[in-house]
Amino acid sequence: MAGQLHRRDVVAALLAPRTPDTLVIAGLGSSAWDVTASGDSDRNFCLVGGMGLTAIIGLGLARTQPNKNVLVITGDGDMLMGMGSLATVANVAPRNLSICVLDNELFGETGGQPTHTAGVTDLAAIAKGAGIPLTSTVRTEGELKTIVGSVHNEAGPQFHAIKIMHEELDSPKPPLDGGYTKDRFRIALLGEAAAVGGFRG
Ligand SMILES: Cc1ncc(C[n+]2csc(CCOP(=O)(O)OP(=O)(O)O)c2C)c(N)n1
Q: Cα(46)–Cα(13) distance, rounded to whole angstroms?
A: 18
pLDDT tens readout for residues 102-159: 999 999 999 999 999 999 999 999 999 999 999 999 999 999 999 999 999 999 999 9
Ligand 1 atom nearest 103 alpha carbon: 16
* Cβ(49) – ligand 1 distance below 6 Å: yes
User: What ranges do the domains of the chain cover?
Assistant: 7-193
Query: What pTM was estimated for this model as a whole?
Result: 0.97
* Cβ(104) – ligand 1 distance below 6 Å: yes
* Cβ(77) – ligand 1 distance below 6 Å: yes
CATH no. of 7-193: 3.40.50.970
Peptide bond between residue 157 and the one before it cis (omega within 30 degrees of 0) = yes
